[in-house]
């Protein structure tokens, strides 16, 4: 995947090449690290988005009462006989959703019990599901695990084995990704019909293989903030470990502390590299 901000990254590389970026007379090549960081951000955002869509759908009282409703641009149906199932259908063509993202395909959700009950487990499967030309494949599970001591609902989102295909690249490129994350509902609990004030904190781990073949692991060092009124993850830090590369560690800093921004900073060897996302 080509970085939109490649010229910015190259400038930063040249600035730092006179110092710690050299190995003998050869400048350190950070591009493999930047591709890993870029892929991690894409995957993190894509599956956090899946959680958000799922949460809005299972929280929709009209859908549950009447069996169908339009939720966030998707035509949704609900059945509870013989089993509880939601179908989230963005139709066979690309649908422009309220957050400005374009989605296509179907997410089917099967539950063992009503999702308001502790211990509820939802299995999500995709059928030709894409978001902003990113194709998601691989089932994932979301479970309601109860309340924190501060009476905040908590959820586990498990992605055992996912493939994310970048359909807007010049050639077929895949990210292979797995994760286990906890989502804590920190704001907006008292307004169940208004998702604009909902905020979740995300913690946990991930691992994957980037489009360049580099194997890596990722651990959230400072909780990521998932604002439903922002299409990007707002704040937080994710630490990266990439044992097969020359520079083996670094971290991702989501920098939207006071605003909704699509910009992130990657740090490797203490050097900052900016990236900006238009679609993902």
Q: What's residue 60's pLDDT? A: 95
Burial class (CB in 10 A: 0-12, 13-18, 19+), 151: exposed
- Return the C-alpha torsion angle 207, 232, 222, 163, nearest 10: -10
Instruction: Give the DSSP H/E element, type plus range, for residue 42.
Output: helix 31-58
pLDDT band at 226 (very low <50, low <70, confident <90, very high): very high
Q: What's residue 276's pLDDT? A: 86
For the chain, give every domain's residue range.
6-276
pLDDT in tens, 78-115: 999 999 999 999 987 889 999 999 999 999 999 999 99
φ, ψ of residue 261 to 5 degrees: the values are -135, 150
Regarding predicted confidence, which is higher, 81 or 167?
Answer: 81
What is the CA angle 140-252-130, rounded to 5?
A: 35
* Residue 183, helix vs strand vs coil: strand
pLDDT band at 21 (very low <50, low <70, confident <90, very high): very low
Round to the nearest angstrom and report the end-to-end CA distance of the chain. Answer: 12
Question: Residue 23 pLDDT more than 90?
Answer: no
- pTM comes to 0.89
Burial class (CB in 10 A: 0-12, 13-18, 19+), 271: buried
Structure tokens of 126? Answer: 């995709």
pLDDT band at 9 (very low <50, low <70, confident <90, very high): very low
Structure tokens of 14? Answer: 């040249």
pLDDT in tens, 183-203: 999 999 988 888 999 999 999
Which of 214, 218, 184 is CA-nearest to residue 201?
A: 184
* Cα Rg of the chain (Å, integer): 20
Tell me which DSSP letter residue 67 carries: S
Is there a contact between 57 and 65 (Cβ–Cβ < 8 Å)?
no
Structure tokens of 121? Answer: 């487990």
């Amino acid at each position: 995947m080509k970085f939109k901000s490649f010229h910015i990254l190259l400038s930063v590389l040249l600035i730092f090449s006179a110092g710690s970026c050299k190995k003998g007379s050869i400048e350190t090549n950070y591009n493999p690290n930047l591709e890993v960081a870029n892929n991690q951000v894409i995957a993190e955002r894509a599956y956090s988005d899946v959680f958000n869509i799922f949460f809005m759908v299972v929280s929709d009282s009209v859908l549950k009462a009447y069996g169908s409703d339009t939720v966030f641009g998707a035509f949704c149906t609900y059945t509870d006989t013989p089993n509880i199932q939601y179908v989230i259908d963005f139709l066979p063509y690309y649908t422009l959703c309220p957050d400005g993202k374009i989605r296509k395909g179907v997410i089917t959700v099967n539950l063992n019990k009503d999702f308001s009950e502790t211990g509820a487990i939802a299995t999500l499967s995709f059928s030709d599901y894409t978001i902003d030309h990113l194709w998601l494949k691989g089932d994932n599970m979301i479970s309601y695990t109860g309340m924190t001591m501060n009476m905040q609902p908590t959820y586990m989102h498990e992605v055992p084995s996912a493939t994310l295909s970048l359909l807007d690249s010049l050639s077929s490129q895949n990210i292979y990704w797995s994760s286990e994350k906890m989502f804590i509902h920190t704001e907006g609990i008292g307004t169940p019909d208004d998702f604009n004030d909902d905020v979740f904190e995300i913690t946990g781990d991930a691992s994957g293989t980037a489009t360049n073949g580099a194997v890596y692991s990722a651990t959230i060092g400072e909780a990521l903030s998932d604002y439903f009124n922002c299409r990007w993850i707002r704040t937080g830090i994710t630490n990266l470990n990439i044992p097969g590369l020359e520079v083996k560690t670094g971290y991702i800093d989501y920098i939207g502390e006071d605003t909704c921004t699509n910009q992130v900073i990657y740090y490797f060897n203490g050097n900052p590299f900016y990236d900006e996302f238009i679609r993902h």
